[in-house]
Structure formats: C-alpha cells, structure tokens
C-alpha cells in the first residue's frame, strides 16, 4: 500500500537545488549559462522628494571605459504605456504606473532618474556615482496629516444606522490605532535580465506572477503579450513585493533594446525601499457600541491609508469589519491619501493584518471596559451567518480555535487584572486576537505529460516564492496519478506554461492545486482508457471505472493481480507519451457561502518596565484553514507569518525623513526584523478537516491568515502585563518608558 502523498510532511522537493546553489534566481541566469553576453544596468535615483530635474550631466560617466550608455528622460525612447488589467487592478483604485524616464518630474525620493549600462557591474556602479543630476526640489508631503492633495474618492460601506445605535449604546469606545510603513525585505532583492531577439522580449525576472509581468510589459511597450516570455523558476521570498512589475523591469527592457545586448538590473537593498512597494501607513479610528451583555450594537470604522500621487493603491481594509462579529449597525469609510511617496503594495495579509490590529485591540479594550473575559466577549459576538452578506458560512470553526488555544496556553488560569503576573523584574501578560482572511480562488490551468519511462511532468505558470508550491503540487499530482512522489516533476514560473493566477492572496493551493488535480485525473483516466481498449492489455475489456492506479501500476480494484504499469502500457502501445490539459474554474460558491480562513492567536510576553523591553515568551496560532496538503510546509508558513507579526508588533518601521522624503533606515541593519532570540516559542496548530465548498481540494488558504491577529495579540498581552495601552505600532522601548 502506498500512502497518499497529500497530508504527509514531505520535505521540499526543490530543497536540494536551493541549498546546493543549483536553483537559478533572477539575477543568476547568466551565471547558470541560460543567457549569454549580459551587460549591467545600475539605476541612479533622485535625491529630492518632489520637484523637477533641471539638468543631468553624464559626461564623466559616459567617459568611463566599458560604459555603453546612460539613459534618462533626456534621451529615453518614449514608451506608449497602454492601460492594462493586471495587478494592481486599475478598476479598484486608479491612476497610472510610474512612467520611467518619460518626463522631468520627481514624484518621490529614490525615483529612478537614469540608468548607466556598462560591460561590468563595477564599471556601471562607478559610472552611476559620477552622474550629476540637478534638481529644482521642494519639501515633499510624506505625512498622512498633511497630504500632497485631497483624499481620493472614499470607499464607503453601511448597514443599519451606526450613529443612532452608538447614541443608545450602554458602552461606547472610540480609539485610534496607527500602523507604520513596513517593507517586505525578502532575502533576494528584485532583479531582471532582459533580452530582445528582434521584437521578441525575454525577461528573467523575480516575480510572483510571470503572466502579470508579461501583460504589464506588453502594455508599457505596446507590443503583443505573445511576443514576451517571462521566466521565473525560483523566488527568494517576496511577501507580495513580486505581485507587480516595478519600474526596474521596464528599465532593464528599455536599456536592452537601446544597447542591443541582454541587460541585467539588480536593485540594491537600499533601492528596494523605493523601487518596490510597502505596507502603507494606516490610521484606523474605530468606535464601538455595545450592550451591557457585551453584544456589539454598532461599529464605525474611519480608515486612512497612504498612497502615491500617481496611483490610488487600496487594499482589503474593510472586509474584516463587515464580517468578523455580529454587529447590526456598521459604517465604514476608507480614504486613500496621496503623498509624495512611491506606490504602496500588497504585503502579507494585506489590509486584513492592519484592520485586525485595530479591531482586535478595540475588542480587548471593550472587554476591559465591560469587565468581561476577552474570549467570552468575542464568543458572544460570534455570528450564525456572515453579518455583512447574510450568507451561511462554508466552514467557520473559530469557537474550536479558541477552545484548543485556551486549553494549550492555560487561558482560564489567567488573572485578567493587568500587572498581576511577574517573573522577577519581568511583568508577564497574555493576550489574544482573532485572525481572518477571505478565501480567494481564481481560474488556473495545467498540463501533464506521462513519458515512456513512467514519469510524469506537470506544468503551470504559477510561482513558488517560498511556501513550497513545487512540493505541494507534486503531492497533489502524485495522488491523482497513482504515482510515488519521486516519479512526478512539477514545473512552474514560465509564461509559456498554462496560465495561473497571481501567486498571492493565499489562492495558489486552492486554484492551482485544483487545476493540477483535475489535469492529473484526466491523464490517469486517459491511460486507463488506453489500457481497457487495448486488446494486448491485461485490463482489456474492463470498465474504466473499475481500474485504479497505485505506485504507477494500473490494476482492477477488486483483482489487483490483473494489471500493468504505465510504462508497460506506453511501450506496448508504442506511445512516446500521453498528455492531458485540465484546469479549474471557480463557480459561484463564494456568492452562496461566506468562505474565510480563521485563527485564534495567543501571545505571552514579558516586559521589563524599567528598560521598556518586550520579550516574546510564546505565540500560538490555532487555525481553521481547511485541509492541509503538507503539514510541514503549513507549519513553516505559519511560523513565518507569526514571525512577521512579531516584527509588525515590536520592530518593523520604515522611517522617512520629513525634510526630503529620504528613507533613513533603508538597509537590513537599521530596519529591524525579528531574529531567533526574538522568536523563542512560536507554534501553529491546524484544526484540519476540509472545506469542499471552497474548492475541489478543500483548502481555504493559509499564507495570509497566519500573520493576521499576531500584532494585536501581542499588543493586548503588553497591556495585560503593564496596564499600558500602546495603539501605535511598532511598540517600541520608548513607548513603554
């Protein structure tokens, strides 16, 4: 008996390639011999935060031996920049992409103003340092309180009459929470190699979506998408930063066309802070009204988040406030505020992680106000149906998440009084918060090929930025094909493969997984049909439905002795291979059911009140995310998400100098992220089960939900330890002194 591969903690099938340096990341395709004759582009960025370029002196740079060209708005080709539908979807927000080297305007500090192309990286770097740019600069608007222009058109939501209900509420609480700008800071910096062959463009790119890069660049250059190929087999982390094509991709392609050589552009760590997006600064004012029994009667959410002057970026900041608790009266306003910054973007748990900080801290404050246990308060507001849409839940096991989590951390022994627990000089506290993230599914297709040797290759133009797509898809395919894992090879990251949705929003397993399963089911059935129709097969004449495949061998279900292997079948039929295409198209399930992943997050902290130090003692997340395809990968995802949440709570903060818009901590020494000492005991429990309403393979997505709720659980634990309510993230030492 072979066990199903799905559900087992299989180690990464691509792990060996990664640790032995054989995995080719975007900037390495020349070193791996995939593309030859590569020259190097180094970007020069603006040193004012707003204004105009009055002159560019490139003479010293151009005089360096090995410099091929210096491109700026003075000599760059004019590009059509056609509209396109992609990520972000312009239908949601608005505005337009940053048009590189198309005019003299400076829209933010760190904007690309020129690129130097040279034979070697060293020459390009040196020459870039010699480019002299003169500006007519002014003080940029970089603070939500003093924007660069009027707020964009607000997003509004209303049910019932929240103001009237607030007036009658037994308890009313108004609080403002603020979250600072954060950057993704993946280990691998963004990079692109661009090569033109006539009017065909190949891009080796770091991206979470080869098809989005293809569509974006096709629109930028006004050429058909079919003439562009994007290749991205390995991604060294992204957390959302790879969901769109940033200006350096266009710069690489533009430069390659001009010098008629393949051009590589690698963002420096510093350039990552303005050359890609970030989680936007958000101010969230929440007013809650509740009865004496703790039941919420009203909630008013007033949300403001930064965007750039040229694009109206918005994220999913309002959904949680509509669906998480039974609340008859809700009003929401979400305004994006234009600033002289580069456009923000999706960062892990986009919107939801921010909203949860406000909502889950406010619920904790309300519980204190009412003298009620914070978990009890949440359970009293647990809805029977989605309060926003009125739809039944496909699955919602939040009560069970609380039960399992409380038992594990000993919640019932907690004295609710702040400052009631101590360990020497350390004040101890335990906090809790809810996590939710909506399940996203999107159309996906795949191709599977069974070769004469009995091995199968499955392809889909999806991505693996770290969660283990290669591995989980191999498991799904192996089970559908009746093959052991080593006989299945999953390939991704090439725009010539069957289409996939963005590798983000926790939708890959649901969408691509379902497509892979469908495709491999089709291939297996094709082989079975070939066998039962082949007079030479031991299975000839059997009904296809009576044939199963196990360990690469087709056999009768009730007579396993009668059968043959895929290999024998193909050899006798003289077929070099069998091929199947399949896919997944989501139905109207999410219009009929409210489908979300859930979690209860518990945090235990110790605070040295003399030093203001917060130490995490433990974070536990208990998740209802549907079926778990690979428990090892799922646990890694959760730990990664929770570590990100610890960073959000205590450390991460992109600091901008208001005088010129410069990011002052644009490096990994000054931008603080958790290290091992900051994450001593971080654990995830998945309830398992499945949600067949969500998608055919029963998953609800887990990559985002695992960061949501961590920061408020920690902030609530800090309050429990110290009696100090810190409403601005990150919770720094200064804030606690």
Q: Tell me which stretch binds ligand MOS (CB under 6 A): 238-246, 297-305, 486-494, 567-575.
A: 238-246
Question: Using the rule CB under 6 A, is 240 a contact of ligand MOS?
Answer: yes
Q: Least distance from C-beta 645 to ligand MOS, angstroms?
A: 14
Question: Using the rule CB under 6 A, is 95 a contact of ligand MOS?
Answer: no
CB of 563 or CB of 647, closer to ligand MOS: 647
Q: Least distance from C-beta 461 to ligand MOS, angstroms?
A: 16
CB of 305 or CB of 427, closer to ligand MOS: 305
Q: Return the residue of 177, 284, 346, 402 that touches ligand MOS, per CB under 6 A.
A: 346
Q: Return the residue of 169, 347, 530, 642 that touches ligand MOS, per CB under 6 A.
A: 347
Residue 652 known to be catalytic: no
CA separation for the pair 269, 435 (Å, rounded): 31
CB of 316 or CB of 430, closer to ligand MOS: 316
Site string for ligand MOS, 705-724 (x = CB under 6 A): --------------------
Cβ–Cβ < 8 Å for 325, 149 = no
**Helix ranges restricted to H, 350-458:** 352-370, 374-380, 398-409
- Return the residues of window 660-679 that contact ligand MOS according to CB under 6 A: none
Site string for ligand MOS, 166-205 (x = CB under 6 A): ----------------------------------------
287: tokens are: 């007013």
Q: Tell me which stretch binds ligand MOS (CB under 6 A): 124-132, 226-234, 344-352, 602-610.
A: 344-352
Element (H, E) at 518: helix 508-532
Question: Using the rule CB under 6 A, is 647 a contact of ligand MOS?
Answer: no
Q: Return the residue of 350, 493, 552, 626 that touches ligand MOS, per CB under 6 A.
A: 350
Q: Which residues lie closer than 8 Å to 383 by C-beta, 6 or more apart?
A: 323, 325, 326
Element (H, E) at 663: none
Q: Tell me which stretch binds ligand MOS (CB under 6 A): 21-29, 239-247, 409-417, 487-495.
A: 239-247
Question: Using the rule CB under 6 A, is 348 a contact of ligand MOS?
Answer: yes
**Smallest Cα–Cα separation from 618: which of 545, 682, 533?**
682
Question: Using the rule CB under 6 A, is 504 a contact of ligand MOS?
Answer: yes
Bridge partners for 423 per DSSP? 426
Cβ–Cβ < 8 Å for 457, 522 = no
Q: Least distance from C-beta 346 to ligand MOS, angstroms?
A: 4
Long-range Cβ contacts of 10-18 (<8 Å, 24+ apart): 10/471, 10/474, 10/475, 10/485, 10/630, 10/632, 11/471, 11/632, 12/468, 12/470, 12/471, 12/633, 13/470, 13/471, 13/474, 13/485, 13/490, 14/234, 14/464, 14/470, 14/471, 17/234, 18/234
Cβ–Cβ < 8 Å for 308, 341 = yes
Question: Using the rule CB under 6 A, is 510 a contact of ligand MOS?
Answer: no
Q: Which residues lie closer than 8 Å to 3 by C-beta, 6 or more apart?
A: none
Q: Least distance from C-beta 243 to ligand MOS, angstroms?
A: 6
- Distances in whole angstroms, Cα of residue 354 to Cα of each of 178, 359, 646: 9, 9, 13
Q: Tell me which stretch binds ligand MOS (CB under 6 A): 33-41, 198-206, 341-349, 621-629.
A: 341-349
State the first-to-last Cα distance of the chain, in angstroms, to the nearest integer: 62
Burial category of 576 from C-beta neighbours within 10 Å (exposed 0-12, middle 13-18, buried 19 and up): exposed
Q: Tell me which stretch binds ligand MOS (CB under 6 A): 144-152, 161-169, 342-350, 524-532.
A: 342-350
Phi, psi of 155 (to 5 degrees): -95, 125
Burial category of 557 from C-beta neighbours within 10 Å (exposed 0-12, middle 13-18, buried 19 and up): exposed
Phi, psi of 14 (to 5 degrees): -100, 5
Q: Tell me which stretch binds ligand MOS (CB under 6 A): 20-28, 79-87, 246-254, 340-348.
A: 340-348
Give the distance between the most distant pair of CA atoms in the chain: 84
**Smallest Cα–Cα separation from 5: which of 460, 687, 486?**
486
Phi-psi region of 688 (alpha: psi -120 to 50; beta: other; left: phi over 0): left
CB of 481 or CB of 684, closer to ligand MOS: 684
Residues binding ligand MOS: number (CB under 6 A) = 10
Site string for ligand MOS, 205-234 (x = CB under 6 A): ---x--------------------------
Annotated catalytic residue within 182, 315, 652, 704: 704
Question: Using the rule CB under 6 A, is 505 a contact of ligand MOS?
Answer: yes
Q: Return the residue of 131, 243, 377, 620 that touches ligand MOS, per CB under 6 A.
A: 243
Q: Least distance from C-beta 574 to ligand MOS, angstroms?
A: 46
- Return the residues of window 12-31 that contact ligand MOS according to CB under 6 A: none
**Can you give the binding site for ligand MOS, defined by CB under 6 A?**
208, 239-240, 243, 346-348, 350, 504-505
Catalytic residue numbers, as ranges: 704
């Amino acid at each position: 008996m072979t066990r199903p591969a799905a559900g087992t903690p299989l180690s990464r099938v691509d792990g060996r390639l990664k640790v032995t340096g054989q995995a080719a990341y975007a900037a390495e395709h020349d070193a791996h011999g995939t593309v030859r004759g590569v020259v190097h582009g180094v970007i020069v960025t603006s040193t004012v935060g707003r204004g105009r370029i009055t002159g560019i002196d490139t003479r010293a740079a151009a005089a360096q031996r090995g410099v091929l060209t210096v491109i700026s708005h003075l000599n760059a080709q004019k590009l059509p920049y056609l509209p396109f539908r992609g990520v972000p979807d312009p239908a949601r927000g608005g505005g337009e992409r940053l048009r590189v080297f198309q005019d003299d305007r400076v829209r933010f500090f760190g904007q690309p103003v020129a690129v130097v192309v040279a034979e070697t990286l060293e020459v390009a770097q040196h020459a870039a340092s010699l480019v002299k740019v003169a500006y007519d600069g002014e003080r940029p608007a970089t603070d939500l309180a003093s924007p660069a222009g009027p707020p964009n058109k607000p997003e509004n939501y209303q049910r019932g009459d929240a103001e009237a209900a607030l007036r009658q509420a037994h308890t009313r609480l108004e609080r403002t929470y603020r979250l600072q700008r954060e950057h993704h800071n993946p280990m691998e910096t963004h990079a692109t190699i661009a090569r033109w062959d006539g009017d065909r463009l190949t891009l080796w790119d770091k991206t979470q979506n080869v098809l989005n890069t293809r569509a974006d660049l096709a629109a930028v250059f006004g050429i058909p998408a079919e003439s562009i190929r994007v290749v991205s087999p390995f991604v060294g982390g992204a957390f959302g930063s790879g969901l769109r094509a940033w200006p350096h991709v266009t710069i690489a392609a533009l430069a390659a066309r001009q010098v008629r050589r393949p051009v590589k552009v690698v963002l420096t760590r510093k350039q990552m802070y303005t050359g890609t997006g970030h989680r936007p600064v958000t101010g969230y004012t929440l007013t809650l009204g509740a009865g004496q029994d703790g039941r919420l009667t009203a909630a008013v959410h007033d949300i403001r988040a930064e965007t750039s002057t040229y694009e109206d970026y918005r994220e999913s900041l309002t959904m949680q406030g509509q669906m998480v608790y039974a609340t008859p009266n809700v009003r929401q306003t979400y305004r994006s505020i234009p600033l002289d910054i580069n456009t923000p973007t999706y960062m892990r748990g986009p919107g939801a992680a921010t909203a949860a900080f406000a909502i889950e801290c406010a619920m904790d404050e309300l519980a204190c106000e009412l003298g009620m246990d914070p978990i009890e308060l949440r359970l009293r507001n647990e809805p029977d149906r989605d309060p926003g849409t009125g739809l039944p839940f496909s699955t919602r096991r939040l009560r069970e998440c609380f039960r399992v989590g409380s038992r594990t951390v000993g919640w019932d022994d907690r004295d609710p009084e702040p400052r009631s627990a101590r360990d020497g000089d350390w004040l101890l506290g335990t906090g809790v918060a809810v996590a939710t993230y909506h399940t996203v599914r999107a159309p996906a297709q795949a191709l599977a090929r069974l070769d004469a040797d009995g091995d199968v290759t499955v392809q889909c133009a999806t991505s693996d930025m770290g969660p283990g797509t290669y591995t989980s898809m191999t498991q799904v395919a192996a089970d559908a094909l009746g093959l052991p894992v080593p006989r299945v090879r999953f390939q991704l990251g090439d725009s010539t493969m069957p289409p996939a949705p963005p590798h983000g929003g926790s939708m890959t397993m649901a969408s691509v997984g379902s497509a892979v399963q469908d495709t491999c089911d089709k291939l297996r059935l094709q082989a079975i049909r070939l066998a039962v129709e082949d007079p030479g097969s031991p299975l000839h004449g059997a009904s296809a439905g009576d044939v199963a495949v196990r360990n690469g061998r087709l056999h009768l279900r009730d007579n396993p002795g009668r059968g043959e292997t895929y290999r024998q079948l193909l050899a006798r039929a003289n077929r070099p291979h069998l091929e199947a295409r399949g896919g997944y198209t989501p139905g109207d399930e999410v219009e009929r059911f409210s489908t979300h992943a859930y979690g209860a997050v518990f945090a235990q902290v110790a605070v040295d009140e003399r030093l203001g130090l917060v130490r995490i003692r433990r974070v536990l997340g208990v998740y209802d995310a549907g079926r778990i395809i690979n428990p090892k990968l799922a646990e890694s995802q959760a730990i990664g998400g929770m570590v990100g949440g610890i960073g959000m709570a205590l450390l991460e903060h992109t600091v901008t100098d208001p005088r010129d818009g410069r990011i002052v901590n644009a490096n990994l020494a000054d931008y603080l992220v958790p290290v091992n000492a900051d994450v001593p005991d971080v654990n995830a429990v998945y309830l398992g089960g499945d949600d067949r309403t969500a998608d055919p393979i029963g998953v609800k997505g887990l990559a985002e939900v695992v960061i949501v709720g961590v920061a408020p659980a920690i902030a609530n634990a800090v309050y429990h330890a110290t009696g100090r309510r810190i409403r601005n993230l990150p919770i720094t030492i200064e804030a606690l002194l």
